[in-house]
Amino acid sequence: MENCNEKADIIIRIAADKDKTFENISDLEVDFPDEVKNSFFGDVIEIFKEEQEYYYFIGKGGHLIENQPNDYGFFIVPYEISSYLNDATNKYSEIEYSGIYLNYDDQFLKKHIGDCQEGWNYRYLLLSDFRTLIVNYPDNGKISSRQFDILKTTAGDIHDFYTYSSDTQFSFLVKYKFEGQDYERFIDKYGDLFKHPEVPLIWKTKIYSSGGDSKEYHGSMGYQGPAEFKDEVIKIIKNFYEGFDFELILKN
């Protein structure tokens, strides 16, 4: 593992022609001898091409790894770097990023969700809020990724979701409406209008609609998960909405 106490930094900022390529930190040695000499694994190079910013991470042997923006942001610390780190958030604590991939045994994961196993072969992308964790799973024809709230998740939850995704699935829709006295009563009971039943994390949930006006609120939410737990989940939902106007629509 690389040293995570040596904080990563943007050590070089340069402008270059759009066709200029950079493959190794040694390509910059002539113009930046001191910076190259004092660089560390994981440091960053910022290159401007036609008013566009490009970032490169210094990898093994000085190889430059280009930043790859994705749906979660522009600046993503890649797995090719973090796979050699066991405390990546500390390593990059002085650089602002959109997301950072974490190795399965990273200290942040151990502290917040417990022990992940190397054999699972999952990829963990932590977003900059330090709460949203995107887990990329090996393709099993059912799922490829899922977003988790790290404050409400364990390593076991993450693994169980993938394990049960191959089982027979069951899905249904819940429609709800609060108006009149029910509007105030729901707020008194749950604190606000946006609370939903807490179902096991091996089930997926999706908000399809929501809205309302003064003293009226309505919405619909979908649920999908392993069929063997459908009765348990339906019971949770019925208990949550007991005494309120709701409809449960089975899809299969």
pLDDT number for residue 119: 96
Q: Is residue 193 part of a domain?
A: yes
- Residue 211, classed as helix, strand or coil, is strand
pLDDT number for residue 214: 85
Q: Is residue 4 part of a domain?
A: no
Task: Collect the ranges in the chain with pLDDT lower than 70.
Answer: 252
Q: Is residue 56 part of a domain?
A: no
| pLDDT tens string 159-188 | 999 999 999 999 999 999 999 999 999 999
**DSSP string for residues in 135-204:** EEPPP-SS-SEEEEEGGG--HHHHHHHHHHTTSPEEEEEEEEEEETHHHHHHHHHHSSTT------TTSE
pLDDT number for residue 21: 87
Contact assessment for residue 250 and residue 226, using Cβ atoms and an 8 Å cutoff? no
CA distance 29 to 43: 15
pLDDT number for residue 180: 92
Q: Is residue 181 part of a domain?
A: yes
CATH number, domain with residue 215: 3.30.70
Q: Is residue 191 part of a domain?
A: yes
Q: Is residue 137 part of a domain?
A: no
Q: Is residue 243 part of a domain?
A: yes
Note down the domain range covering 186. Answer: 169-250
Q: Is residue 196 part of a domain?
A: yes
- Residue 37, classed as helix, strand or coil, is helix
pTM for the whole structure: 0.89
